[in-house]
Amino acid sequence: MKIRDAALKTELTEKTIRYYEEIGLVVPERRENGYRDFSEQDVHSLRFLARARKLGFSVDDCRQLLSLYSDRKRASKDVKNIAEAHLVEIDMKIKELSKMQDTLRHLVSTCQGNERPDCPIINDLAGKS
């Protein structure tokens, strides 16, 4: 299957698929004319990658997960470890964003938002309390 069809089947772009090949996540065959030729296997891998990326796993995590995926002797604990570490990262990001949200919401709510220059948002950024 050519790259266009692989892209349609995986909801990845052709660019992304070529990039994944470049960094060694998939290794499609090549036809005589140089065109990539994706097997069903390749498409499975790409879909796996697409899902993992959607869950926010880094490409490097994806590489490990993909390797565990094709390892029949894997220990589920290895997978779980990766997922739990990722969860911790997500938690941290949410906490950080929530802090920003709180501060900003407060500032925005106290700003008149009119034509005059007085602005608690600017004041806060300027360090004036």
Partner DNA sequence: TCTTGACCTTCCAGTGACTGGAGGCTTTAT
Partner DNA sequence: ATAAAGCCTCCAGTCACTGGAAGGTCAAGA
Binding site for its own copies (CB under 8 A): 44, 47-48, 51-52, 54-56, 65, 68-69, 71-77, 79-81, 83-84, 86-87, 90-91, 93-94, 97-98, 100-101, 103-105, 107-108, 111-119, 121-122, 124-127
User: Which residues lie across from 29 on neighbouring strands?
Assistant: 37
The site partner of 16 among DNA, its own copies, none (C-beta below 5 to 8 Å per kind) is: DNA
Cα–Cα distance measured from residue 56 to residue 93, given in angstroms and rounded to the nearest whole number: 12
Tell me the window of 2-10, 39-47, 65-73, 95-103 that interacts with DNA (CB under 7 A).
2-10
Structure tokens at 59: 């490409």
| DSSP string for 16-42 | HHHHHHHTTS---EE-TTS-EE--HHH
Considering the complex, what minimum distance in angstroms separates the CB of residue 68 from its own copies? 6
Distance of alpha carbon 27 from alpha carbon 70, whole angstroms: 14
* Residue 86 found at the interface with DNA (CB under 7 A): no
Q: Residues touching DNA: how many (CB under 7 A)?
A: 19
In whole angstroms, what separates CA 121 from the centre of its chain? 32
In the complex, the smallest distance separating the C-beta of residue 110 from DNA, rounded to whole angstroms, is: 25
